Amino acid sequence: MGNVAVLMQRAGHTIAGSDQGIYPPMSTVLEEAGVQCFAGWDETNLETFQPDLVVVGNAVTRGNPEVEFILRSKQFPFTSLPALLDNQLLGDRPRVVITGTHGKTTTTALTAWLLKQGEQDPGWLIGGVPNSLSSGSELGNGLRPFVLEGDEYDSAFFDKRSKFIHYRPDVLVINNIEFDHADIFRDLADVKRTFNHLIRIVPGNGVILANGDDPVIRELLPVSWTQVCFVGVGDDNDFIIQDFKESPDGSAFKLVDSDGGKSLDVSTQLTGIFNARNTAMAMLASGFAANRENPMAFCSSHSLDGYEGVARRQDVLFESERLFVIEDFAHHPTAIRLCIESFKNCYPEREVVAVFEPRSNTSATNVLQEEFMGALGTAHRVLISPVHRAEIYSDDSRMDTKAMVQTLSEQCISATACRSKESLFADLEELPGDVGRLVILFTNGSFGKPLADYLERLRAD
């Protein structure tokens, strides 16, 4: 919401907004952009500002004082955030929409960066903090491509369609389709249904870049009304990732056009086969957006040198001869498993410790408990934080961390269900120091002060 507020202000509108707990850095960004902020929700905010349109975020529910006033008084028209983008910001610009259960933020940021490097003057909206771009949002040239992170989450309390339905992509990337957002979707079939709706609105002159190694995606594609290009490691893909290699310094692979036989040698600071696919998708998405007739030509003219990824994706928080501490945003079993696999490949001599906080609306429940246990079990050692806001979940629906640890222990994997975040980091400090160790912190939130104190003690030693 904050990034879109800034974009709309820059587009010439006068913007104000209400929220609880508006803190830096977003409060500073909003202030510098001239966006007025009301602390807390109250109908007097609307009466004071007298908006022409109210944008309701998807975190806002019935019972909110301003929502109730809007519905009761009928004084102000209202819309959802993605509908606002479609109707008032994007216009007829070419739209590049990056979707999938995981990998969206990395792929969106890289696609925008490549278009910027190619002097396309793109706009973008990214659900994270890109390290190689000026900010998470930019208007760019109103006639040039706009790159959006396409979330499958719902749009608002009054519009349960996925956000990405509003974005009407010209270039659509589908990285993967798995079950997630258990508070929104019933099952995998429900997730497939919303992606199928998205696929149906890609125009005839558009293109879909899809993970051809994903069997669920293969069930939905190809289609007859638009061009579909499969991307992946399998020989049946249109663009094939070959000769993948990774090390602590990054990764390299060949991107081969199976139709024309052209190939590109790609090197990136990002590691992991999942990031090789993210990179290939970003290169091709930017290529199709900039040069539809010859996307590989655009890809080949721009190096990935200087691209530094996205904050909280494999960020190194501490490094010494014996210990690496790394934070990663991964909060889906597949993303966790692939991240662990990559670090084990890059650091085969180190003990990999997976530290996991069950925090998202899916990971805090037992819907994917077996899958999370399997993913974490690929590490040498596992520590699990208490479930975030455990009190809001019933005993029957909450993730059972003790049961997970018991099963992992039976599989001869050292595992601990920690009583608190403080005890978790105390347990980390008590691990034997005679081995090289790599600690990966998996959370889509924050370990907060216990992590800060732990890092401070490490730096003091």
211 and 105, same domain (yes or no)? yes
- Band the pLDDT of 455: cuts 50, 70, 90: very high
pLDDT at 231 over 90: yes
Q: Which two tokens stand for residue 223?
A: 């289609």
The tally of domains found in the chain comes to 3
228 and 273, same domain (yes or no)? yes
pLDDT at 276 over 80: yes
Cβ atoms < 10 Å from Cβ of 184: 17
- pTM, two decimal places: 0.90
Last residue of a domain, one of 76, 107, 140: 76
In the chain, % of residues over pLDDT 70: 100
* 138 assigned to some structural domain: yes
Per residue in 296-345, pLDDT tens? 888 887 778 888 877 777 888 999 989 999 998 878 899 999 999 999 99
* 206 assigned to some structural domain: yes
88 and 72, same domain (yes or no)? no
398 and 373, same domain (yes or no)? yes
Task: List the domain range (segments joined by +) for residue 25.
Answer: 2-76
* 286 assigned to some structural domain: yes
* 419 assigned to some structural domain: yes
Cβ atoms < 10 Å from Cβ of 237: 19
443 and 354, same domain (yes or no)? yes
Per residue in 151-191, pLDDT tens? 999 999 999 999 999 999 999 999 999 988 888 899 999 99
> For position 339, which CATH number holds?
3.90.190.20
Identify whether the C-beta of residue 272 lies closer than 8 Å to the C-beta of residue 278. Answer: no
179 and 237, same domain (yes or no)? yes
pLDDT value of residue 3: 87
> For position 14, which CATH number holds?
3.40.50.720
DSSP codes of every residue in 20-65: S---TTHHHHHHHHT-EEEES--HHHHHHH--S-EEEPTT--TT-H
In the chain, % of residues over pLDDT 90: 77
Per residue in 46-57, pLDDT tens? 999 999 999 999
137 and 256, same domain (yes or no)? yes
Picking from 90, 94, 82, 116, the residue whose alpha carbon sits closest to that of residue 282 is 116
271 and 176, same domain (yes or no)? yes
Picking from 328, 296, 282, 300, the residue whose alpha carbon sits closest to that of residue 109 is 282
> For position 208, which CATH number holds?
3.40.1190.10
Per residue in 131-148, pLDDT tens? 888 888 899 999 999 999
User: Which residue do the tokens 């961390």 mark?
Assistant: 401
376 and 455, same domain (yes or no)? yes
452 and 332, same domain (yes or no)? yes
9 and 113, same domain (yes or no)? no
Tell me how many degrees the CA angle 302-308-313 measures, rounded to the nearest 5.
130
Picking from 221, 369, 227, 209, the residue whose alpha carbon sits closest to that of residue 299 is 209
102 and 195, same domain (yes or no)? yes
* 306 assigned to some structural domain: no
Last residue of a domain, one of 54, 76, 98: 76
CA dist 34 and 57 (Å) reads 20
Picking from 373, 387, 382, 365, the residue whose alpha carbon sits closest to that of residue 333 is 373
| 186 CB-contact burial (10 Å; exposed 0-12 / middle 13-18 / buried 19+) | exposed
Last residue of a domain, one of 274, 300, 326: 300
pLDDT value of residue 209: 98
Beta bridge partners of residue 365, listed in sequence order? 398
